[in-house]
Structure 1
Amino acid sequence: MGTSAPDDEPNEEAAKFYNLLNEMNKELYEGSKYSKLSFCIRLFHLKCLGGWTGNSFTMLLEFLREMFPFAKIPQSCQDMKRLIKDLGLGYDKIHSCPNDCMLYLGDQKNQQCCNVCGKSRWMNGNTEDVNADEGGAQLRKKPVKVLQYFSLIPRLQRLFMSSKTSESMKWHNDQRTDDGLLKHPADSLAWKSFDSKFPSFASDPRNVRLGLAADGFNTFKIMSTSYSTWPIVLVRYNLPPWICMKQSSFILPMIISGEKGPGNDIDIYLKPLIEELKQLWSGVETYDVLRKKNFNLCAALLWTINDFSAYANLSGWSTKGHYACPCCAA
């Protein structure tokens, strides 16, 4: 009998995640029904709901440690944030031009004003406030507009670090019934056409097929209030149909908020997501816990989901006046 190939050791990122998860899954104290992880997430959730400052949250943690010295309670708000971010639940704050001209990224990260319209990136040019996250000791300027960006690559990689989600990501290939009926996006002509054009991508069922949904709404539900929120949502079509459209299965890579919607400038905000999608087209090293092997994970964006006005913003196609219809150009 032939011997099977030896299992791969988890790559560096996967090993770091597993070690942290093992540490965080320990009991908060002996006999507790809460783990250190569940305690941190629950308490941090309350901080966000209550609008507590970083300083007040640190003081609460100090009080809890004094009251329960036997419990594994983080030292400060910064320690709590670091733990949550290491688990992949953090996000990046990317400053943007108030007129939606550019993002302050890469070589332009340290610019003080927009290189298109000349507007300052800071509120009132010289407005400063206390950065409570740094213990109140450091002052910083307040940006006019901020994009909250949740990195996509580590979120896709973590899907294969769990045996349950890793198996679900291959459902479209391993468990779908191919009876000629349209029951799943994998039965569509578009999916099959994509497979025929890119056979190397289709050869591994673990590669991720994504759909992008985008639309804006008024957060405060008051039409007289000038404010807009645009969540960008990704749908994983590898999953079975009764799971992939559940809210818990969605991936939220970014939230675009401000006094007005991004309109046709939404492509400015999509830049970090597009850069990650380009990287995912080439592939990133990922550990598959089911096979206990490292593999090259790829992803592709197949479809977008939006209303007609958002379709115009995303595609650049005019949906008003002449040639408004994208199908017949009438």
Structure 2
Amino acid sequence: MERGNQTGVRSFLLLGFTEDPNLQPLLFGLFLSMYLVTFTGNLAIILAIISDSHLHTPMYFFLSNLSFADIGFTSTTIPKMLWNIQKQSQVITYAGCLSQAFFFIVFGCLDNLLLAVMAYDRFMAICHPLHYMVIMNPWLCGLLALGSWSLSVTGSLLMTLTLVRPSFCRSMKITHFFCDLPKVLKLACSNTIINNTVVYFMTIILGITPLSGILFSYSKIFSSILRISSAKGKYKAFSTCGSHLSVVSLFYSTGLGVYLSSAVTSSSRTSLVASVMYTMVTPMLNPFIYSLRNRDMKGALGRLISRAPSLIHRVFRGLS
């Protein structure tokens, strides 16, 4: 495993957080709880939006896509980590590593693009309220969602293909709990200038560009809100984008934390903690942010919960 080109690579080792057997059960319980809360919370958001006709609007359509992306984002990494902890194994196959990197980038980019689309939606709702329903019609909403998915898959495919070309002749130990693309590329002993160039270029396209769109949209939103004369009107306008702004702040602050921790310090432990915030905590908190700060969403979730017993009864009766 120490020598040979990429065709000879059979597996990598995910070093994870610790090899201390006394801490493994604690980590397993903690991350399993976080995953279940994330999965359940985002699934509840999706079901509430689908089942409540009052939420069949552009904002909630994009929110349901964001919740699905968050489920995929966490499902790409946490189940494999839990499996390795349970089996006391660090192994991930070469194909499994490629697949994990691909889907992690897909859902990460999708989160990024959907947040930009949702910022545009809030911009249209606040700055052009009279034309909002005409502009943000179902056809355009579907096109924006489809475009976000297409760009995410295409960009992820191009970035993941950078792992196919290099030769791996160093230690196959990845100092992370999942196949993080930059860390895997560091294991290559061949020239990776082209590989890194592709990764950086796609990061700018799929990362910096959506962030620029979000900042531009909110600059226009804040400018429009400041022109509102009444304090009540300002509060009402700002409340419509408060949840989204909170999610954007959390997403990019934790993402920036991952980047800074990797650039400033060589400590793998610091980088792992920052990655946990980005890959686990943020998707887990998003449903709470949208449900606690949104009256319509709280009402839809309440009605969904009240109907849950009857729905479960119907399912079991149908199975019997």
Q: Output the TM-score relative to the length of structure 1.
A: 0.22
Which one scores higher on RCO, CA 8 angstroms, separation ≥ 6?
A: 2
More helix by share: 2
Q: Could you tell me the TM-score, scaled by structure 2's length?
A: 0.22
Question: Highest Rg: 1 or 2?
Answer: 1
